[in-house]
Amino acid sequence: MSFLAFVLRRVALLAPTLLGVSVIGFLLVYLLPGNPALVKTGAMAMPESVAEMQHRVGLNQPLDAQYEQT
């Protein structure tokens, strides 16, 4: 029965591990310097197009809403 207990313990730890990796990955990308909308539109883009891209990809929303979109 010890092998079954080992497998059940590993499966139970899977969800918190995946959640932790997901949150850490999201925060690392969020904390990196730069503006993803500016990168996507190009360095010579007009401010209006950068603002529209930020709205389109949801960068103007709170962090929790951005995390839910990913």
pLDDT digits (tens, 9 = 90+) for 19-67: 999 999 999 988 888 888 898 999 899 999 999 999 999 999 998 899 9
Max CA pair span of the chain: 65
Contact 52, 38 (CB under 8 A): no
pLDDT digits (tens, 9 = 90+) for 28-40: 988 888 888 898 9
* Domain ranges within the chain, ordered by starting residue: 1-32, 33-70
Question: In whole angstroms, what is the distance from residue 31 CA to residue 24 CA?
Answer: 10
- Cα-Cα-Cα-Cα torsion 26, 66, 69, 60, nearest 10 degrees, comes to -140
Whole-model pTM: value is: 0.69
